[in-house]
Structure 1
Amino acid sequence: MAESGIHFLDAQGPDGVRLYAIGDVHGRFDLLAAMHGQIEAEIARDRVRDWRIIHLGDYVDRGPDSKGVIDFLIEARERDPRNLMLAGNHDIGFLDFLKTPDPEGLFIRFGGIQTAQSYGVAMNNGSGIWFGKADSALRRGHQALLEAMPQGHVDFLRSLPFSMSFGDFFFCHAGIRPGVALEKQNPQDLIWIRDAFHDHSGLFPKIVVHGHTPVPEAEVMANRVNVDTLAWQSGMLTALVVDEADKRILEMAIKEA
């Protein structure tokens, strides 16, 4: 069957609107704040008349200041609604834990301990691994986190959409299911998919801009762009910049958390 869709080299953003798409932050408030500072300087320098800053999800877990990241994003969105945020699997995992403290869930197993610490709550039994669903220490930690977390943070996480589109670009956290229309994508795929998406060599209706799967540097393919450069560990946060037909990668590096 003939390949249909758009190639990265031909893709364009909306007329008169510069787009910035920022990859997984994972608690690195320092990098996020520095990236925003760079973006604001560019917008002022270039006298950009309109813009959108799109955050691709995974604001929490692993890094040292998830609370600071959420505070920053809430304030940015309230200051200017052109600051846009999507849901990542870790953000939804955080909500899942708040509802039901599963010791085998994403939150406890993959960096939620650090998220809780950013709210001043210790959720570690010494090893960081919870073995029993009836673990009283886990229940106490869960209750303490519920009490420590501002309602505004819960509301923020609940408000996050799973995708958005501008021009020839489709933005989501993880990727899309090949063969399924963009408007019919399953939210679980949008925040979790890997191999079926990465292995697809054909073009999509739009260029998919995503994170979720760490790469050493931005991965620019014919059909997708991955800007997850493992910021929490590498010290480098990455963004795709789209200015009509012009596309480039913007990196912000701070080596020590």
Structure 2
Amino acid sequence: MFSKLFPKPVANRTPPTTGGRLIYAVGDVHGRLDVLEPLIAEIAADAARSRPAHKPLLIFLGDYVDRGDASAGVIDLILRLQADTAFEVVALKGNHEEALFQFLDDPSFGPLWIEHGGGPTLASYGAPAPVGRGDAESWMRTRDAFAAALPDDHRRFLESLELIVTVGDYAFVHAGVRPGAPLERQTEHDLLWIRHDFLQANGPFEKIIVHGHTPAEAPQITPHRICVDTGVYATGVLTAVRLDADGPRFLQAGRRQAA
């Protein structure tokens, strides 16, 4: 297990402003409580060393559930952080949370959700998926069991997730933004799902976009966007970006999986 604070990149321009805030933005967690816990410990230690004038802002960029085996535990941890006074905590919605709600609304979505990692989420709440692809009746029973097992505070958390938050010169979203569209006119679908049109755009956007959703082996930083999704479910490494007046720096926790 390791955690690392990368040196800040060399820049030829004044770093963007965070409005005087110390901000940490955490990439896609995907049920990996075992890696989230040490990353949060490192973030807390870094914040204590930094002694900011205002309460640090801790932003989660979505995709708390699916693929890893501790989706329920991840949400429990974020709820504890929200109840604590050490950070102001903001949690954004990811496309995997949208998929969870789609299953709750329509049990026939179950097989497709399973293909994209929903099985471990169901198991973490004690409502395992049917064997194989199941049938309509078995998926209805699974949906009902999952709905009954989902704690009220978890449901409220999932229902309260935000789509976008802006601070200073930064905007935080799950997937990205539609190039050419003002931030206030971005659609929920683009904020949760967009990839190529956003990633291939040269920018600039209204803000520097901090996002997850599209995994890479290392965090990515360009003049117009920062991606902190390092595919923890596959790589074993979870990443956060630290933002303040000195610009972006990265923290990581986990152990990279052998090829």
Give me the TM-score of the superposition, normalised by structure 1: 0.89
Partner of 1:4: none
Secondary structure of the residue aligned to 1:64 is: coil
Task: Number of aligned residue pairs: give it.
Answer: 245
2:59–2:91 contact (8 Å) kept in structure 1: yes
Unaligned runs of 5+ in 2: 1-10
For the structure 1 residues 9 and 164, does the alpha-carbon distance in structure 2 shift closer, same or farther, using more than 3 Å as the test? farther
Please tell me the residue identity of whatever aligns with 1:88: G
Partner of 1:3: none
1:103–1:109 contact (8 Å) kept in structure 2: no
| Aligned counterpart for 1:39 among listed residues 18, 37, 43 | 43
Question: What is the CA-CA distance between 1:103 and the residue it aligns to?
Answer: 3.5
For the structure 1 residues 224 and 106, does the alpha-carbon distance in structure 2 shift closer, same or farther, using more than 3 Å as the test? farther
Instruction: Report matched runs for 1:67-82 at 5 Å.
Output: 67-80=72-85, 82=88
For the structure 1 residues 214 and 46, does the alpha-carbon distance in structure 2 shift closer, same or farther, using more than 3 Å as the test? same
Secondary structure of the residue aligned to 1:103 is: helix
Secondary structure of the residue aligned to 1:170 is: strand
2:169–2:208 contact (8 Å) kept in structure 1: yes
Question: What is the CA-CA distance between 1:120 and the residue it aligns to?
Answer: 1.4
CA distance in 2, matches of 1:222, 1:168: 12
For the structure 1 residues 72 and 172, does the alpha-carbon distance in structure 2 shift closer, same or farther, using more than 3 Å as the test? same
* 1:118 aligned onto 2:119: no
2:163–2:188 contact (8 Å) kept in structure 1: yes
For the structure 1 residues 85 and 205, does the alpha-carbon distance in structure 2 shift closer, same or farther, using more than 3 Å as the test? same
* 1:28 aligned onto 2:32: yes
Give a deviation string over 1:171-227, Cα, whole Å, max 9, x none.
000000000001111111000001110110121121100000111100111211111
Secondary structure of the residue aligned to 1:83 is: strand
Question: What is the CA-CA distance between 1:152 and the residue it aligns to?
Answer: 1.3
Question: What is the CA-CA distance between 1:111 and the residue it aligns to?
Answer: 0.8
1:27–1:62 contact (8 Å) kept in structure 2: yes
CA distance in 2, matches of 1:159, 1:55: 13
The more displaced of 75-84 and 52-61 is 75-84
The more displaced of 75-84 and 162-171 is 75-84
Give me the TM-score of the superposition, normalised by structure 2: 0.89
For the structure 1 residues 19 and 106, does the alpha-carbon distance in structure 2 shift closer, same or farther, using more than 3 Å as the test? farther
2:171–2:209 contact (8 Å) kept in structure 1: yes
2:102–2:109 contact (8 Å) kept in structure 1: no
Question: What is the CA-CA distance between 1:117 and the residue it aligns to?
Answer: 0.6
1:11–1:169 contact (8 Å) kept in structure 2: no
* 1:12 aligned onto 2:16: yes
CA distance in 2, matches of 1:17, 1:250: 17
Question: What is the CA-CA distance between 1:138 and the residue it aligns to?
Answer: 1.4
1:8–1:222 contact (8 Å) kept in structure 2: no
Question: What is the CA-CA distance between 1:121 and the residue it aligns to?
Answer: 1.6
1:87–1:160 contact (8 Å) kept in structure 2: yes
For the structure 1 residues 148 and 200, does the alpha-carbon distance in structure 2 shift closer, same or farther, using more than 3 Å as the test? same
1:93–1:106 contact (8 Å) kept in structure 2: no
Question: What is the CA-CA distance between 1:166 and the residue it aligns to?
Answer: 0.7
| Aligned counterpart for 1:102 among listed residues 97, 108, 133 | 108
Please tell me the residue identity of whatever aligns with 1:99: D
1:242–1:248 contact (8 Å) kept in structure 2: yes
CA distance in 2, matches of 1:85, 1:101: 26
Partner of 2:71: 66
Paired-residue identity, %: 38
Unaligned runs of 5+ in 1: 1-6
2:110–2:139 contact (8 Å) kept in structure 1: no
